[in-house]
């Protein structure tokens, strides 16, 4: 049995690591989405975290923990810097601005050769990231998200999500709340980038482009933005899908696309809403709640 576990872990540890890493980023996005911020800045934040932490470990010779922290902090600073002007923009404009940030970061990484290695990237990065680091990071982030939801801050965020104009009129400082969440999102994605950089020996500018940002956005949306476990489910699902569908060879990409479309179409609340379908109690409770709300409103 023990041998079996060892072998299983040896064969699949990278998949497990990737699931955890993507979950971490998914929670970073989850925080942003919880205040209706469709951020495409993830790629940029991860790039900052990755390059900064690699610079710390490989050039400055710092140990791993401060390097990850430095990477995360730099990404958080960037989030603050772009958040202040950009968070006043709404909807599509916010998305465009964050997309621009990711592109600019990628182009800088491509051209700042002395630090980033340019298009060739940086290789032979020491492998410091252990599975337990990732487990710990995800656990901490889940705990924070959980506590936040129950706090005054969380209620204010929920109000912003419903309608930011009404929230503002109720005395919630919409801008400050969004900025705080965006910075937290930047911090988490930066830490994710730093952990990713020390996982697979190599980073290059192509790793953190628009594709990364869009992927990161799909995790919580597929999993469900309302449930705490949504990002985790979405990230694991999206990471495992290409591996599970490997048998289908050429059909793989078509199947992946079809599955994602099916989820969006039939489970608009994300994959987590499947639990509600199976859980009559929850549905009943919700109906009761809805009825009560209706009564109160009439």
Contacts of 231 (CB under 8 A, 6+ apart): 23, 26, 27, 29, 30, 219, 220, 223
150 or 246, CB closer to another protein? Answer: 246
**One of 18, 95, 159, 271 touching another protein (CB under 8 A):** 18
112 touching another protein, by CB under 8 A: no
For residue 125, CA distances in Å to 48, 187, 279 come to 16, 22, 47
15 sits near another protein (criterion: CB under 8 A): yes
Binding segment for another protein (CB under 8 A), chosen from 68-76, 93-101, 114-122, 264-272, is 114-122
Q: What does the radius of gyration of the chain's CA atoms come to, in whole angstroms? A: 20
Smaller CB distance to another protein: residue 34 or 239?
Answer: 239
Judged by beta carbon, residue 93 or residue 123, the one nearer another protein is 123
Residues with Cβ < 8 Å from 213, sequence gap 6 or more?
Answer: 39, 40, 41, 42, 43, 44, 98, 99, 102
Binding another protein (rule: CB under 8 A), the pick from 96, 147, 242, 290 is 242
> Does 123 contact another protein by CB under 8 A?
yes
Among 171, 246, 278, 298, binds another protein (CB under 8 A): 246
Rounded to 5 degrees, what angle do the CA atoms 217, 140, 220 make?
A: 15
In this chain, which stretch among 28-36, 38-46, 204-212, 219-227 interacts with another protein, using CB under 8 A? 204-212
Contact segment (CB under 8 A) with another protein among 33-41, 73-81, 129-137, 240-248 equals 240-248
Phi, psi of 63 (to 5 degrees): -85, 175
Site for another protein in 257-296 (CB under 8 A): none
The position carrying tokens 């109160």 is 296
Check binding of 119 to another protein (CB under 8 A).
yes
Work out how close the CB of 296 gets to another protein at its nearest, in angstroms, rounded to a whole number. Answer: 50
Question: Using a CB cutoff of 8 Å and minimum separation of 24, what contacts does 209-212 make?
Answer: 209/43, 209/102, 209/103, 209/106, 210/40, 210/43, 210/99, 210/102, 210/103, 211/43, 212/42, 212/43, 212/46, 212/102
Q: Running DSSP on this structure, what letter comes out for residue 56? A: I
Query: Shortest distance, CB of residue 145 to another protein, whole angstroms?
Result: 25
Residues that bind another protein (CB under 8 A): 7, 10-15, 18, 110-111, 118-121, 123-124, 127, 200-202, 204-207, 242-243, 246, 249-250, 252-253
């Amino acid at each position: 049995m023990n041998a079996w576990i060892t072998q299983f872990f040896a064969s699949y540890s990278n998949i497990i690591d990737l699931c955890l890493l993507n979950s971490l980023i998914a929670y970073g996005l989850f925080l942003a989405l919880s205040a209706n911020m469709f951020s495409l800045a993830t790629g940029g934040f991860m790039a900052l975290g990755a390059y900064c932490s690699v610079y710390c470990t490989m050039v400055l010779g710092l140990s791993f923990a401060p390097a990850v922290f430095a990477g995360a902090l730099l990404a958080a600073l960037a989030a603050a810097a772009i958040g202040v002007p950009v968070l006043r923009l709404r909807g599509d404009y916010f998305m465009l601005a964050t997309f621009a940030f990711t592109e600019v970061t990628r182009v800088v990484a491509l051209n700042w050769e002395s630090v980033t290695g340019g298009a060739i990237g940086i290789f032979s990065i020491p492998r410091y990231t252990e599975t337990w680091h990732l487990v710990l990071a995800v656990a901490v982030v889940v705990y924070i998200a959980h506590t936040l939801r129950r706090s005054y801050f969380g209620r204010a965020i929920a109000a912003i999500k419903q309608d930011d104009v009404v929230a503002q009129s109720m005395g919630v400082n919409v801008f400050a709340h969004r900025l705080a969440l965006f910075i937290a999102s930047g911090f988490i994605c930066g830490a994710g980038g730093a952990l990713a950089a020390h996982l697979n020996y190599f980073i290059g500018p192509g790793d953190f482009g628009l594709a990364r940002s869009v992927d990161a956005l799909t995790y919580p949306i597929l999993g469900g933005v309302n449930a705490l476990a949504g990002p985790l489910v979405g990230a694991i699902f999206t990471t495992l899908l290409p591996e599970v569908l490997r048998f289908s060879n050429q059909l793989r990409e078509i199947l992946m696309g079809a599955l994602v479309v099916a989820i969006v179409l039939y489970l608009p609340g994300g994959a987590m809403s499947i639990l509600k379908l199976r859980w009559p109690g929850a549905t009943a409770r919700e109906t009761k709640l809805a009825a009560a709300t209706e009564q109160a409103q009439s």
